[in-house]
């Protein structure tokens, strides 16, 4: 039996049809399947789902100047140094990794000679990956992800028809009668006989074991009997989730021309990407993607304000685009009632201390979710940790 608090399946995988007449699907939640994400690729093959190339060629707006994807780069000195750091990662000892975890990513970059324009651009790009400033990210967590991931940092593929198609196929295989939506859990009682789970709507379910895949904010709202261990509760209090705001904008035409278009900026609209790549239509969607404090600011504004701010950023380089904007929608994960953030972010000193505690089982309950994976923020991590929990049972 699967108990789901939301009124839909999928959780933080959330596909949205922004234009039903053109059947244009955008992702309000999880976006990418990486080339190294073999488990989710195998599931897509099993369920007959197609994976389409979703790689982009990044353009840049920096200090008022627009650079096409082939017109900007890091300095040669920094590229050589960063390549060395990535290659050296495989030689790090456990002690080296623990020391590295005690630094934040910004400080690690500075200490290794990344300065000026190089540092500015790394902050823009890397904060897009992690959803918060790189001063909030463990240097080990960041280096491990960049050293082990694909060339595009796993921003490689997308499920045709929307990433929610995988959740739909899984639900069909499980049997929709075995999935209870609108069943937020209020109480979990564990004893020698097994577990008893009581939902907010009063329904109770009895079983032998639980796999709990909820983000830590939701786990803490449940009353546990016996209570969660103090160190596990403290770890949940300590873990932060990235603030990300997704603002899909449907335009009457794809004025950006390049189907592989994305754009990083040093302005309030932090990042844009073409969300309707591989979808046939004259119309197209750019998602304005903001992180951290920028996300908190943008999410609270009216649509007219968002449209004006986006036009202010794009107009010097693409002309006035306001007349082309047909509609927009918005989802701010920082206010999501179940996660209060998009995905987990391990800060300085947390990877080797906090993550093992969060991963630990509690009596009959085994925990899973992207926050316990090798890399945060990917569907692959949710699948891997879920299957690990199932194997433990």
Q: What is the pLDDT of residues 193-238, one digit of tens each?
A: 999 999 999 999 999 999 999 999 999 999 999 999 999 999 999 9
Q: Is residue 132 part of a domain?
A: yes
Q: Is residue 381 part of a domain?
A: no
- The confidence score (pLDDT) of residue 322 equals 96
Q: Is residue 364 part of a domain?
A: no
Number of domains within the chain:
1
Average pLDDT of the segment spanning 39-57: 98
Q: Is residue 136 part of a domain?
A: yes
Q: Is residue 154 part of a domain?
A: no
Task: Read off the pLDDT band of 151 (50, 70, 90).
Answer: confident
- The confidence score (pLDDT) of residue 46 equals 98
| Per-residue pLDDT tens digits for 94-107 | 999 999 999 999 99
Average pLDDT of the segment spanning 60-87: 97
Average pLDDT of the segment spanning 65-69: 97
Q: What is the 3-state secondary structure (H, E, C) of the chain?
A: CEECCCCCCCCCCCEEEEECCCCEEEECCCCCECCCCHHHHHHHHHCCCCEEECCCEEEEEECCEEECCCCCCCCHHHHHHHHHHHHHHHHCCHHHHHHHHCCEHHHHHHHCCCCHHHHHHHHHHHHHHHCCCHHHCEHHHHHHHHHHCCCCCCCCEEECCCCHHHHHHHHHHHCHHHEECCCCEEEEEEECCEEEEEECCCCEEEECCEEECCCHHHHHHCEEECCCCHHHHHHHHHCEECCEEEEEEEECCCCCCCCCEEEEECCCCCEEEECCCCCCCCCEEEEEEEEHHHHHHHHCCCHHHHHHHHHHHHHHHHCCCHHHEEEECCEEHHHCCCCCCCCEECCCCCCCCHHHHHHCCECCEEECCHHHCCCCCCHHHHHHHHHHHHHHC
CATH number of the domain encompassing residue 91: 1.10.405
Q: Is residue 272 part of a domain?
A: no
| Per-residue pLDDT tens digits for 353-368 | 999 999 999 999 999 9
Q: Is residue 192 part of a domain?
A: no
Task: Read off the pLDDT band of 159 (50, 70, 90).
Answer: very high
Q: What is the pTM of this model?
A: 0.96
Residue-range definition of the domain harbouring residue 131: 57-148
Q: Is residue 140 part of a domain?
A: yes
């Amino acid at each position: 039996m699967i108990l789901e608090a939301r009124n839909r399946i999928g959780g933080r995988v959330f596909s949205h049809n922004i234009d039903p007449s053109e059947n244009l699907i955008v992702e309000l939640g999880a976006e990418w399947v990486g080339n190294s994400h073999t488990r989710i690729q195998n599931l897509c093959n099993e369920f007959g789902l197609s994976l389409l190339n979703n790689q982009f060629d990044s353009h840049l707006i920096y200090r008022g100047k627009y650079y096409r994807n082939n017109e900007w780069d890091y300095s040669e000195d920094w590229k050589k140094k960063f390549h060395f750091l990535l290659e050296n990662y495989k030689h790090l000892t456990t002690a080296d990794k623990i020391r590295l975890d005690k630094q934040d990513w910004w400080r690690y970059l500075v200490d290794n000679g990344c300065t000026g324009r190089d540092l500015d651009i790394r902050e823009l790009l890397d904060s897009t990956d992690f959803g918060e400033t790189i001063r909030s990210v463990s240097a080990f967590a960041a280096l491990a992800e960049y050293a082990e991931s694909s060339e595009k940092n796993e921003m490689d593929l997308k499920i045709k028809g929307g990433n929610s198609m995988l959740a739909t196929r899984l639900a069909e295989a499980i049997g929709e009668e075995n999935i209870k939506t609108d069943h937020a859990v209020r109480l979990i009682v564990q004893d020698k006989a097994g577990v008893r789970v009581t939902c907010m709507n009063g329904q109770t379910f009895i079983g032998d074991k639980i796999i709990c895949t909820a983000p830590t904010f939701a786990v803490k709202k449940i009353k546990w009997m016996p209570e969660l261990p103090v160190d596990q509760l403290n770890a949940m209090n300590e873990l932060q989730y990235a603030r990300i705001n997704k603002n899909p904008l449907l335009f009457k035409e794809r004025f950006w021309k390049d189907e592989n278009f994305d754009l990083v900026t040093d302005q309030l609209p932090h990042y844009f990407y073409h969300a309707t790549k591989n979808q046939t239509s004259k119309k197209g969607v750019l998602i304005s993607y903001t992180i951290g404090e920028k996300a908190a600011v943008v999410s609270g504004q009216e649509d007219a304000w968002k449209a004006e701010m986006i036009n202010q950023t794009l107009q010097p380089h693409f002309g006035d685009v306001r007349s082309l904007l047909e509609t927009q929608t918005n989802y701010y994960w920082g206010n999501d009632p179940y996660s209060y953030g998009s995905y987990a972010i391990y800060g300085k000193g947390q990877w080797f201390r906090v993550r093992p505690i969060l991963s630990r089982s509690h009596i009959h309950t085994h925990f899973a979710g992207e926050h316990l994976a090798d890399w945060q923020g990917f569907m692959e991590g949710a699948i891997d940790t879920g299957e690990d929990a199932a194997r433990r049972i």
